[in-house]
Amino acid sequence: MLVDIWTYSCINCLRTLPYLKAWAQKYRDQGLVVIGVHAPEFAFERNVDNVKKAIHDLNIDYPVAVDNNYAIIWRALNNQYWPTHYFVDANGQIRYHHFGEGDSDHSERVIQQLLAEAGHADASKMAAHPADTRAMSSQGAMMQADNADVRSPETYIGYERAEQFMSPGGESQNRVRNYAAPKSLDVNDWGLAGPWNIGAEHATLAGASRQIVYRFHARDLHLVLGPSKDGKPVRFHVSINGAAPGASHGTDVQDGSGTVTEQRLYQLVRQAGPVKDRTFSIEFLDSGVEAYAFTFG
């Protein structure tokens, strides 16, 4: 058995899904059972309808348990990370675990070893990394990170975990304030412009036509966003160094524009050329958007 502890807006979890789905299909007849355990990071990931939609949209065909309060599996395993993979043998013993992305070659060898021990000797003879895994892992946010050029860390917008926020006056907690964009940004600095209410885990835009800016160094830039509380979509424009992204747009951007329609991770930039320090800006044309965290790849 392979147990995957994940949450649907986590970029690290999304980038491991191609391997999990491929293993589930490839070794099903040899006895492998893959079970997802969805343990939320943000409050909106506790909404079971959101989780069901994500499972459908991501084409996950193995069972997924919901551990909303970390009360069942997360705490029983003393887990601390997204994603974590636990490899369980036929006797119910955890024989190996892996935190985060990567290690796919070794993980597949562990699967083969445990299946062989359980009497499925043919599993150890199956070739690693089928073509469909490579194809899935090149799609959208599931594409494997360009780790050699990722110099920007996951960055939270809510005040509980925010770092390197550079708008003048810093963050105000749980009240609407009119922020100004920083006049200059070093790499991994960011800021807000316009009326925002910054809560513990996200910031909510209290007016229209306002911005978030970030100086980053990575091939890909993602932002976890949600529409207004009444569910109304929020339109946005994206720019890189003050210009439309062109060929460097992400999968959720067309002609420099996009719309926030649901609570999830949005891929906004995938650089088409050399990876350099660049200034990203997203301007929202409607009020009410909720912004949670930047991630990179």
Structure confidence at residue 127 (pLDDT): 67
Structure confidence at residue 196 (pLDDT): 98
pLDDT at 78 over 60: yes
Burial class (CB in 10 A: 0-12, 13-18, 19+), 270: buried
Helix orientation angle between 11-26 and 104-117, rounded to the nearest 10 degrees: 30
CATH fold for the domain made of 2-142: Glutaredoxin (3.40.30)
Q: How does pLDDT run across 208-242, given as a tens digit for each residue? A: 879 999 999 999 999 999 999 999 999 999 999 99
Question: Is 148-296 in the same CATH topology as 2-142?
Answer: no
What average pLDDT score do residues 188-209 get? Answer: 96
Q: How does pLDDT run across 136-180, given as a tens digit for each residue? A: 556 789 999 999 999 999 999 999 999 999 999 999 999 999 999
Structure confidence at residue 72 (pLDDT): 86
Q: Which of 102-106, 115-119, 122-126 has the lowest mean pLDDT?
A: 122-126
What average pLDDT score do residues 48-71 get? Answer: 96
CATH class of 148-296: mainly beta
Domain spans in the chain, listed from the N-terminal domain onward: 2-142, 148-296
| pTM of the predicted protein model | 0.93
**Residue whose token pair is 């079971």:** 48
